[in-house]
Amino acid sequence: MKVAGLLVLVLLSGCASQTIPPTYYLLRSDQDLQSSALRTSKQYSLGSVEIAAYLDQPGLVMAMGNDEMRAASQNLWAEPIYDGVRNFLSTEIARASGQELLPTKLNKNSTAVNIRIDQLHGTLDGQAQIVAYWWLVRDNEVSSLNRFADSRALATSGYSALVNAEKLLLTDLAQKIAASLTSQGPISAAE
């Protein structure tokens, strides 16, 4: 009897000391990318993409209440959020506009599209929120300044649903950016 009790105690202590491995998420477009020659924009390029400092860390972020944010310790981005957001927006803007935006350093005579993500997090009431800005710069002059703020209900509970909602919000942002490029019309070199 003592041996059986000792065995149960050893098994229970082994289970209690096991840690749950973290879950990693990638921020990638869901579009099915195919090998092809890319059509690049001569008029626009992708300039700076900035991320608010509170987002620039490995854990997904939740707003816990009045100005309190908490980064998850077990639900993490698989790569720096800056890289994920930049790649995601680049892909989605290209899909929405029909043209790839080269980095500004490779397309020097273009209008730069600069982007700043000020908020991108979940809330306790099951929402994902985004606040972002983008501005167009040519010859060191801002020709357009825009803000996008929205929220989206999570389809289910959990961090996977938060990532999916954040991707939908970033897709909406990319579509707004692409639409603003179309509405700008051609910009001549003399402007």
Domains identified in the chain and CATH numbers = 19-29+44-183 (3.40.50.10610)
CA distance 112 to 115: 10
Residue 91 contacts residue 172 (beta carbons within 8 Å): no
- Give the pLDDT confidence of 132-190 residue by residue, as tens digits: 999 999 888 898 899 999 999 999 999 999 999 999 999 999 999 999 998 765 443 33
Average pLDDT over residues 102-108: 87
- Give the pLDDT confidence of 45-91 residue by residue, as tens digits: 999 999 999 999 999 999 998 889 999 999 999 999 999 999 999 99
What pLDDT shows up at residue 169? 98
Cβ within 8 Å of residue 135, ≥6 positions away: 113, 114, 142, 144, 145, 146
Higher pLDDT, 107 or 75: 75
Lowest mean pLDDT across 35-44, 62-71, 99-108: 35-44
What are the DSSP E strand ranges found in the chain? 23-25, 44-51, 59-65, 68-77, 111-123, 127-138, 141-153
